């Protein structure tokens, strides 16, 4: 029977929404305000690509989704925290994300900082919430998420990105920024699925390469969309990279070559999945969705 990706996607997205709703604290009681701020950005319309990648990667090896759902949600919380903080006036200073006012526009800067911090903290707690996992696996998963979130990943990329503003940088520096700020967390999501699925070292290596290449390709497409798309479609201000003199692929290579590079990386990423046979259908379809996205 052929793989029905549309049905698969709807089901998994629903499972992720339900799990996130379950794990996020209720917007009531003494901490109603911050819980409301956390929930505002988590349920603002994100595509849930990172948890979906984590689930699809896990499903290459195992079926019991309850083992991986808390970790898949944890990655989404780290992603959401990074966007809240990135939108702050001291960073990218954005008023809109996903077509809605940014967190600090609704809750104020102090609460937005704290909501981001609280999501990041909750993420690590969530990984410990799958009681069926072996303790050693929980430790490995926590280390993995910390590494792709810290200066060896997301934060490191953001620092390099800020420092590159207004400067001419080398192609390898640009690639490093994109690998750190975007590909690390995406690849981490794929790797975490493999880790919890008990992939062996060789399998994990293939998943890492797949995630890195896909993540780099995804960020190149993001750069291109900032040039070619509109504020209405993206739900946030476009042309910002140009205005802030950001280091991007279109700035260095032009739009057409950037699209070509993204396509080549995507194809290279798919090659990494060959060893897994038919159980990679969901992961393959997700990769295609990510690279052909319009927003
Ligand atoms: C502030 C610690 C800190 C990190 C910021 C670089 C960065 C991390 C944030 C800037 C926004 C940006 C360019 C992120 C890179 C990844 C990216 C393209 C995010 C958007 O991801 P989607 O499309 O978002 O998955 P949705 O809205 O669907 O969740």
Could you identify the atom of ligand 1 that is nearest to the CA of residue 44?
Answer: 27
Could you identify the atom of ligand 1 that is nearest to the CA of residue 86?
Answer: 1
* Atom 4, ligand 1: residue with shortest CA distance: 82
Mean pLDDT of 194-204: 97
199 phi-psi bin (left φ>0, alpha ψ -120 to 50, beta other): beta
* Residues pairing with 97 in the sheet: 100
Q: Does the Cβ of 156 fall within 6 Å of ligand 1?
A: no
Q: For residue 229, give every residue at least 6 positions away whose Cβ sits within 8 Å of its Cβ, in sequence order, or none.
A: 238, 294, 295
CA of 83 to the centre of ligand 1 (A): 5
Question: Which token pair is 83?
Answer: 């966007």
Which of the four pLDDT bands, split at 50, 70 and 90, describes residue 1?
low
pLDDT for residue 295 is more than 90:
no
Q: Does the Cβ of 49 fall within 6 Å of ligand 1?
A: yes
pLDDT for residue 280 is more than 80:
yes
Q: Express each pLDDT in 237-274 by its tens digit.
A: 888 888 888 889 999 999 999 999 999 999 999 999 99
Q: Does the Cβ of 155 fall within 6 Å of ligand 1?
A: yes
Would you state the pLDDT for residue 244? 83
Q: In degrees, to the nearest 5, what angle opens at C-alpha 91 toward C-alphas 185 and 113?
A: 75
The proportion of the chain whose per-residue pLDDT surpasses 90, expressed as a percent, equals 87
Fold annotation for 5-291: Farnesyl Diphosphate Synthase (1.10.600)
Provide the mean pLDDT of the chain.
95
Mean pLDDT of 198-209: 97
Could you identify the atom of ligand 1 that is nearest to the CA of residue 92?
Answer: 10
């Amino acid at each position: 029977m052929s793989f029905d990706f549309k049905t698969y996607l709807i089901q998994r997205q629903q499972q992720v929404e339900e799990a996130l709703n379950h794990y996020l604290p209720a917007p009531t009681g003494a901490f109603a305000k911050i819980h409301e701020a956390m929930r505002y950005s988590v349920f603002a319309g994100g595509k849930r690509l990172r948890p979906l990648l984590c689930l699809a990667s896990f499903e290459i090896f195992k079926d019991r989704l309850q083992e991986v759902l808390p970790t898949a949600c944890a990655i989404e919380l780290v992603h959401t925290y990074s966007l809240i903080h990135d939108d702050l006036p001291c960073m990218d200073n954005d008023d809109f994300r996903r077509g809605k006012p940014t967190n600090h526009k609704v809750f104020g800067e102090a609460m937005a900082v704290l909501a981001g911090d609280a999501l990041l903290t909750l993420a690590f707690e969530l990984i410990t919430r799958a009681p069926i996992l072996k303790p050693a696996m929980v430790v490995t998963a926590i280390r993995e998420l910390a590494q792709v979130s810290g200066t060896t990943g997301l934060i490191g990329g953001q620092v390099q990105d800020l420092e590159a503003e207004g400067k001419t940088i080398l192609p390898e520096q640009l690639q490093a920024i994109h690998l750190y700020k975007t590909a690390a967390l995406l690849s981490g999501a794929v790797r975490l699925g493999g880790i919890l699925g008990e992939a062996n070292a060789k399998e994990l290596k293939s998943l890492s390469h797949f995630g890195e290449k896909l993540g780099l390709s995804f960020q190149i497409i993001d750069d291109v969309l900032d040039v070619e798309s509109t504020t209405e479609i993206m739900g946030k201000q476009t042309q910002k990279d140009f205005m802030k003199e950001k280091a991007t692929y279109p700035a260095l290579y032009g739009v057409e070559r950037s699209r070509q590079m993204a396509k080549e990386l995507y194809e290279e990423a798919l090659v990494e999945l060959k060893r897994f046979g038919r159980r990679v259908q969901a992961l393959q379809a997700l990769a295609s969705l990510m690279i052909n996205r319009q927003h």
